[in-house]
Structure formats: C-alpha cells, structure tokens
C-alpha cells in the first residue's frame, strides 16, 4: 500500500473514531500492517484502543510513537489520556505536562493536566493548570444573548436562556456559573451557592466559580467558608487584585482590620492608580479611627480618578470633616459634565449637599440632596404597598393569643441584645454605650437572624404553600429551639472577646420581633427612636451602601416610618414591656438616667465606662463611626428644622406621628 492510499484510508478511519472506534482501530491496524511507520495511523490506533476500553494496548502503541516523535503535542495528549484511562494519574500528568511544554496553546491538555493533578493530590498545581486553561478559554458559542441580558440586569431573560442551555447540557460550567450570578443578584444566595458548588464538583480548578462562591459566602457573612476559598485562589495566583481585595473585605467582616489594612497597603503600593483600592483602604482606616489616614486614602483615590464620586462622598460621610472651597468648586465642575457616570453623579450630589449644609446654605443644600435621591431612586426598586401589607399581616398573625399559646418556647439563653429601629436614630450610640460595658460585646449589623429566619420559614412549609408570617403558625417548638442554636452558632465568629452578652444592631430585625420572642424570650430588644422628622431627614441625606431602598423618596420614607411605628405599637400592646424604647432626645438630655434604665432592662449592673463610650477603641462600621468617638452633643437634635420648608411630603406621609412623638400607646409596663 503506498502512502497516498494509506492516507485516504486514514481519513475514512478517522471519520469513524467517534461513532465506531472498534472499526477505526481495525482500519488503523490494517494501515500499519502495510505501512508500519505511519505515525498518524499509530496515533489513531492508540486513540481508538482507549475508546474501546483497552488502555493497555493504547499505552503500548503511544509510548512507542512518543519515543519516535517526542515533540508532537497531539501524541503526548493522547498518551496522557491513555494513562488516565488506565488509572495512572501521575504518568498522565507527566504526559500532559510535556504536551503543554511543547505547545502552551493546547488548552485541552491544560484542562486534563489539571484533572490529573487533582487526582494525584496536587491541589495547587491543579488550580494553576486549570487557571491557565480558564484564562485562555474562548467564550463558548451561544452565550452572547444570556451575557447581554445579565449585563443589562434583564435577569428573567438571562435565566430563561441559561436554563434552556442546561436542559441541553446539565454539566455546562459556564451556564451554571452565569445562572448562579442571576441568583446572587436576586439575593438568592443559597441557590447561587448550590450552583457554584456544582460547578466546582465538575471542574475543581475553576477559579471564576471559586471566586464567585467566595463572594456568595462573603455576602452571607459566612467568612469561615469564604476565607479558605480565597486563600486557595491566592495560592495559585498570589498577586490577583480581585482576590486580595475580597480577602481584605472578608477580614474586615471578622474584625481582622490590621491584616486587612496590610493587604490593602500592599495593593496600593503595587497599583497606585487604582481608585477602588484606595477607597477600601480609606474605609478600613476610618473604621479603626484613623481619620487622617482615611482622608489621605480618599484624596489618593481622587488623584487616581478625579471624577470619583465615591471618594468625595466618603469624605463627606465622615460627618465631622468640612470640605475646602476648592473641593466644592471641583464637585460643581464635575456635576456640569454630561458624560459623568450616574453612580458618580449620585455620590457627588450627596457630598455637595453635605458641603453646602456645613456652610448653612440649606436651600441649595437641599436641592442637591433632592437630586441625589431622585437619581438614585430611579436605579432601585421599592414597593411601599408591599411593606404596608407585610406589617398588616404580621400584626394579624403575632397576636397576644399566639404568644400565650407558645409561652415557654425557645432558648433560655439571653446572650443577644437586639437593637432595632430606623437608621440615623441613635442606634450606633446605644451600641457603643452597651459595648463599653465589661460584659457586653459590640459586633456589627449582623444578617444572621434573617438567614436563620428564612431557613425556619422553609422548614415550616417546604411546599411554600403559606407565606410568611402566616407560616409561623406551623413552626414547632423544636424547630424554633434549633433555629436559636443555629443563630448563636452563626454569630459566634463575631464574638471575638468572648463576653457573655453581645449586641446585634441589624435595625431591620424589628420585622422579626415575633420570631425573636419565639426563639429568645429572654433576649433584650431595644427600640432606638428619634423624632420622625429628624429620622426622616437624616435618612434622606444619607446614601446607604445597600438596601434601605425606602429612604430615597420623602413620601415613601414617611410611609415606612408610619408602618414601623405601627408594628412597634402593636408589639407594645400584645407583649407589654417586652421591648425597651430609648428616645434619642431623652438620651442626649439625660444620658445617665436613660443609661441606667437601659442597663436595668438588660439585667446588667451600671458601669460608668458606658458613659465614656467615646473612649472605647472598638471598630465602628456605620455612618456614625466618627460621631460616637466624641462626647454627646445636642446640635443634631433639631437639625431637621433647617430643612423644614422643603419637607412637606415627609410631613404629609407621617401624619399624626409627628404630633404624638414621643408618646407611645398607653399599655401596662
């Protein structure tokens, strides 16, 4: 048989490799009988033998071929596959490693090298090999529409397209990861976690899925799960900016501020033009009380990107710092730019509003606050009617009889001190006072109660037939006690000082008071109150990091305040004396008297250190961080009156809540 005829027969044999590998093997053997040195036929025979389940023969053929042609990457790739089929991962890894040395662009070899390294127990090597593959892997065809929908926040469309893709191929890594992104953006973190864990089961070296999963755990404040993922990512790619910044943010959650600052200092030294890195360093310095260092970092962010609205806003958010005239002029000039990004415009409007407020230019200040809020409100969703309905339903479910029938349920533990209420109502001050007591630990705004509550709700009604709070009627005593134990376990990493009591200052937990009573009947619940006009204006002037979407429209803000007050009034009636209320104005006027009453309610002895709260060096992560590092001051109590002419919509929505403040319903105490 001449070579030309052999080549024609080889083409025919190759065409049968996928559909009929046994026939392909026979044809390859026939070619080799006539032309023993036909390299392509040897390669085909090796590949066919592996596919028909004879890896031993495949190895013999391919080892001989590789000895004759040691620099042919295709032969080395197929030899590696034969070793892998024979259960010889170390030799397979060696063959794949030789293949990528000869041809670094052979992506299949990198992917299969990673798989064999994982089998051999070389996690770091596997991650590095898969990372090389992943970084160079072209975007699979058919994802453009789904990615476009995801980028445009058309999540319904993206999910439809991705689910269709997964119906065709349930193991499609890219589709699983993008679908997880959809779930994460909808705050369905458990679903996102499940999808990403499936990705990693299919592709253990997939760094993008591991990074996304670390972000999901970070969002859920599961730092114990996030940090090991981040460390594994950094082991393979130690200088990756995204990984390092996520590490710093995660350390920030668990109080590892010194290490987080060191990480960020390393980053800004290597990337001095990265404004996001300077911003995070500034936030960390602010939270540990290094105000001058925070301002320096924010200024470096402006130098790196002069239109950085977040940098200007971050300086204004220190509350105790005034802008120089040149800063005001710079912000005005930036706001004149039509090309300015919306996210920067919103933050600059808030910052300029604060700068003008400090100059007592209240009319112009309010104009900028109003523009900031109006623009930001366009980018977020909020349903005031749904909030009102939730409150009405909670009042119907959580009645006096409901709690009487469940008396004695829940944990006996009294560790948590829950501070609930509205933002900007003095809650950070209360937390700082309590955290200055030797038996109380301040933590932060913990999301754990909401997460545990969601799990409890699903367990009470797995079919989802009854919405919450109606499903609370189905919760068993055992389930509630287990939920209380789960909450204490989840919050334990934040109790680094090991004190007997701790403060959970997630203000929105007022919506969970019914569950708190069922889970922790002995825990303290403190309602931080401030004049509704003062609360409303302070919220309106504040850009929150996330959530609190009711604060960007005066009418919606007033309605939310009314719903909140109505729910708290309801619990005063059905659980008399259960919630202790502290009015900010009373606390400012009589700090020791209010503090003694608060400590008595919490069953804590009086300690004068609580009055010297401003000496406490603990980390404070809210917008009031700088204010609680100073002694009490009364200037802010009636600050809202400067803006009263422009607060008509808030007044109208609040209604009689203004006149009856600080009165509460007459109930037995």
Average pLDDT over residues 599-608: 96
The edge-to-edge listing of strands for the beta sheet with 416-421 is: 440-442, 501-504, 416-421, 524-529, 579-583
Contact 519, 410 (CB under 8 A): yes
Take residue 618 and report the two structure tokens written for it.
């603990």
The distance of Cα 201 from the centroid of its chain, to the nearest Å, equals 22
DSSP string, 239-304: T-HHHHHHHHHHHHHTT-HHHHHHHHHHHHHH-TT-HHHHHHHHHHHHHTT-HHHHHHHHHHHHHH
Contact 180, 172 (CB under 8 A): no
Q: Which pLDDT score, from 0 to 100, does residue 190 have?
A: 87
Interval 198-216: pLDDT, tens: 999 998 988 999 999 999 9
CA distance 195 to 207: 14
Average pLDDT over residues 322-332: 96
580, β-bridge pairs:
526
Residue 575 has pLDDT above 90, yes or no: yes
Residue 637 has pLDDT above 70, yes or no: no
Interval 231-253: pLDDT, tens: 999 998 999 999 999 999 999 98
Interval 452-467: pLDDT, tens: 888 888 887 776 666 8
> What's phi and psi for 504, nearest 5 deg?
-110, 110
Of 619, 616, 663, residue with least CA distance to 290: 619
Residue 274 has pLDDT above 80, yes or no: yes
Contact 149, 175 (CB under 8 A): no
Residue that wins the pLDDT comparison between 318 and 34: 318
Q: Which pLDDT score, from 0 to 100, does residue 464 have?
A: 65
501, β-bridge pairs:
440
Q: Which pLDDT score, from 0 to 100, does residue 477 have?
A: 95
Q: Which pLDDT score, from 0 to 100, does residue 380 have?
A: 86
Residue that wins the pLDDT comparison between 190 and 407: 407
Residue 414 has pLDDT above 80, yes or no: yes
Residue 623 has pLDDT above 50, yes or no: no
Interval 576-593: pLDDT, tens: 999 999 999 999 999 999
Contact 133, 110 (CB under 8 A): yes
CA distance 448 to 223: 12
Q: Which pLDDT score, from 0 to 100, does residue 665 have?
A: 52
Q: Verify cis geometry, omega within 30 degrees of 0, for the bond prior to 662.
A: yes
Q: pLDDT category, 79, cuts 50, 70, 90? A: confident
Average pLDDT over residues 287-307: 94
Take residue 379 and report the two structure tokens written for it.
């980018």
Buried residues in 29-51 as b, exposed as e (16+ CB within 10 A): bebbeebeebebbbbbbbbbbbb
Return mean pLDDT, the chain: 89
Residue that wins the pLDDT comparison between 424 and 306: 306
Take residue 141 and report the two structure tokens written for it.
């065809």
Residue 297 has pLDDT above 80, yes or no: yes
Q: Which pLDDT score, from 0 to 100, does residue 114 have?
A: 83
CA distance 240 to 243: 5
Residue that wins the pLDDT comparison between 227 and 76: 227
Q: pLDDT category, 303, cuts 50, 70, 90? A: very high
Return the HEC string of 208-232: HHHHHHHHHHHHCCCHHHHHHHHHH
Residue 392 has pLDDT above 90, yes or no: yes
Residue 90 has pLDDT above 60, yes or no: yes
Residue 628 has pLDDT above 50, yes or no: no
Q: Which pLDDT score, from 0 to 100, does residue 626 have?
A: 47
Q: Which pLDDT score, from 0 to 100, does residue 625 have?
A: 45
Q: Which pLDDT score, from 0 to 100, does residue 467 have?
A: 81
Residue 636 has pLDDT above 80, yes or no: no
Interval 139-182: pLDDT, tens: 666 778 888 888 877 888 889 999 998 999 899 888 999 999 99
Take residue 501 and report the two structure tokens written for it.
């009591």
Q: Verify cis geometry, omega within 30 degrees of 0, for the bond prior to 469.
A: yes
Residue 404 has pLDDT above 90, yes or no: yes
Residue that wins the pLDDT comparison between 555 and 97: 555
Domains for the chain: give ranges and CATH numbers.
Answer: 3-136 (1.25.40.10), 384-660 (3.40.50.300)
Q: pLDDT category, 415, cuts 50, 70, 90? A: very high
Contact 456, 483 (CB under 8 A): yes
Residue 652 has pLDDT above 90, yes or no: yes
Residue 307 has pLDDT above 90, yes or no: yes
Give the percent of the chain with pLDDT over 70: 93
CA distance 420 to 571: 13
Average pLDDT over residues 339-347: 95
Residue 617 has pLDDT above 70, yes or no: no
CA distance 418 to 413: 13
Q: Which pLDDT score, from 0 to 100, does residue 629 have?
A: 45
Residue 510 has pLDDT above 60, yes or no: yes
Give the highest mean pLDDT range of 41-45, 376-380, 405-409. 405-409
Q: pLDDT category, 7, cuts 50, 70, 90? A: low
């Amino acid at each position: 048989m001449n070579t030309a005829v052999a080549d024609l027969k080889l083409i025919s044999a190759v065409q049968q490799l996928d559909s009929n590998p046994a026939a392909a093997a026979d044809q390859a053997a026939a070619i080799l009988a006539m032309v023993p040195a036909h390299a392509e036929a040897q390669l085909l025979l090796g590949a066919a033998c592996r596919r028909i389940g004879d890896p031993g023969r495949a190895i013999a053929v391919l080892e001989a071929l590789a000895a004759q042609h040691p620099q042919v990457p295709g032969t080395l790739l197929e030899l590696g596959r034969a070793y892998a089929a024979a259960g010889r991962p170390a030799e397979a890894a060696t063959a794949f490693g030789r293949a990528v040395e000869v041809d670094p662009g052979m992506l299949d070899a990198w992917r299969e090298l990673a798989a064999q390294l994982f089998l051999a127990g070389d996690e770091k090597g596997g991650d590095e090999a898969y990372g090389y593959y992943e970084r160079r892997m072209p975007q699979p065809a058919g994802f453009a529409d789904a990615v476009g929908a995801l980028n445009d926040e058309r999540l319904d469309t993206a999910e439809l397209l991705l689910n269709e893709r997964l119906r065709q191929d349930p193991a499609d890594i890219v589709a699983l990861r993008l679908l997880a992104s959809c779930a994460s953006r909808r705050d369905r973190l458990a679903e996102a976690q499940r999808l990403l864990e499936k990705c990693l089961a299919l592709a253990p070296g997939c760094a993008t899925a591991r990074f996304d999963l670390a972000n999901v755990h970070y969002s859920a404040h599961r730092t114990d799960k996030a940090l090991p993922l981040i460390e594994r990512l950094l082991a393979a790619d130690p200088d990756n900016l995204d990984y390092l910044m996520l590490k710093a943010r995660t350390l920030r959650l668990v109080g590892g501020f010194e290490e987080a600052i060191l990480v960020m200092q390393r980053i800004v030294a290597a990337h001095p033009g990265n404004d996001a890195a300077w911003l995070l360093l500034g936030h960390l310095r602010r939270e540990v009380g290094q105000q001058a260092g925070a301002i320096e970092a924010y200024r470096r962010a402006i130098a790196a990107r002069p239109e950085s609205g977040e940098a200007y806003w971050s300086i204004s958010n220190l509350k105790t710092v005034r802008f120089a005239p040149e800063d005001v002029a710079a912000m005005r000039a930036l706001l004149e730019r039509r090309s300015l990004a919306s996210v920067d415009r919103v933050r600059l409007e808030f910052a300029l509003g604060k700068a003008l407020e400090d100059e007592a230019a209240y009319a112009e200040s309010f104009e900028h606050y109003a523009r900031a809020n109006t623009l930001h409100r366009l980018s977020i969703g909020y349903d005031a009617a749904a909030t009102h309905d939730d409150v009405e339903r909670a009042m119907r479910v959580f009645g006096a009889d409901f709690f009487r029938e469940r008396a004695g349920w829940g944990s006996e533990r009294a560790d948590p001190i829950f501070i609930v209420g509205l933002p900007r109502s003095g809650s950070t001050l209360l937390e700082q006072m309590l955290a200055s007591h030797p038996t109380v630990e301040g933590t932060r705004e913990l999301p754990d109660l909401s997460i545990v509550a969601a799990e409890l709700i699903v367990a009470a009604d797995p079919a989802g037939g009854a919405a919450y709070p109606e499903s609370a009627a189905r919760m068993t005593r055992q389930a509630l006690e287990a939920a209380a134990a789960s909450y204490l376990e989840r919050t334990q990493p934040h109790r680094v000082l090991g004190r007997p009591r701790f403060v959970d200052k997630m203000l929105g937990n007022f919506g969970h008071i019914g569950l708190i009573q069922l889970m922790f009947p002995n825990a303290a619940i403190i309602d931080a109150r401030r004049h509704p006009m003062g609360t409303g204006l302070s919220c309106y002037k504040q850009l929150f990091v996330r959530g609190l979407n009711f604060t960007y429209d005066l009418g919606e803000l007033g309605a939310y305040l009314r719903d909140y007050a109505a729910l708290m009034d309801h619990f005063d009636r059905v659980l008399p004396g259960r919630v202790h209320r502290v009015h900010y104005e009373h606390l400012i006027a009589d700090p020791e008297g209010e503090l003694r009453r608060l400590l008595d309610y919490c069953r804590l002895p009086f300690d004068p250190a609580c009055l010297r709260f401003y000496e406490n060096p603990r980390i404070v992560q809210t917008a009031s961080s700088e204010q609680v590092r100073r002694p009490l001051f009364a200037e802010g109590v009636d600050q809202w009156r400067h803006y009263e002419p422009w607060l008509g919509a808030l007044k109208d929505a609040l209604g009689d809540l203004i006149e009856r403040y600080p009165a509460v319903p007459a109930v037995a105490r």
